[in-house]
Amino acid sequence: MAAAQAGNGGAYRRLLGELRGWLEGFFKRRLPPMMVDDAVQDTLIALHEKRHTYDPARPFRPWLMAIARYKWIDRLRGMSRTRTETLADVHGIADHGDSVISANVLEALMKELKPAQARVIRLVKLDGYSIEEAAAQTGQSPSLVKVNIHRGLARLSAIVAQHAD
């Protein structure tokens, strides 16, 4: 710390690196695991802000311990104000990974179709429009909408059959 106060940046970086490990051990014995990293960071920031108060004629460890102890007490006070609950390992949130992958595969497949086919398949099969509503939106006749849907689905089936994966 004395070298860091004298302007030796390398010594200061080395000191902070070594203190990080020591502080983690200090707080792991005293705080819940979820609070350790924050307590270490708070202590390192406080040490940085108060580094000018360190007297090189005195031992470093008691000075550091005082800062760490005050940060530990601050965390304990915060714990008394904040109610925490341990969450179960199983959460009630569904995994949407398969849906996202399916949507991406579907988009890639739809790009393989002619635009008119892709549009009417999207309108009728995905968005739930009737043949007549799709015809009105696209300007195609109802029979052309049916033909484009049939040909587009046949093309999609052929593409999927070619790529078994």
Per-residue pLDDT tens for 106-137?
A: 888 889 899 999 999 999 998 899 999 999 99
Smallest CA-to-CA distance from 51 within 59, 62, 35, 63 is with: 63
Is residue 95 pLDDT above 70, yes or no? Answer: no
Residues 6+ apart with CB under 8 A from 135: 141, 142, 144, 145
Q: Does 165 score more than 80 pLDDT?
A: no
- Contact, 56 vs 1, CB < 8 A? yes
Model confidence pLDDT, tens digit, residues 20-41: 999 999 999 998 898 899 999 9
- Residue-range domains of the chain with CATH: 2-81 (1.10.1740.10), 108-162 (1.10.10.10)
> Do residues 11 and 4 lie in contact, with contact meaning Cβ atoms separated by under 8 Å?
yes
Residues 6+ apart with CB under 8 A from 59: none
3-state class of 117 per DSSP? helix
pLDDT of residue 104: 81
pTM of the full structure? 0.48
**Structure-block tokens of residue 53:** 């108060």
Each residue's pLDDT tens digit, 67-84: 999 999 988 888 777 666
The span from the first CA to the last CA of the chain, in angstroms, equals: 61
pLDDT for 3 equals: 86
Q: Say how many CA atoms lie within 13 Å of 146 toward its Cβ.
A: 5
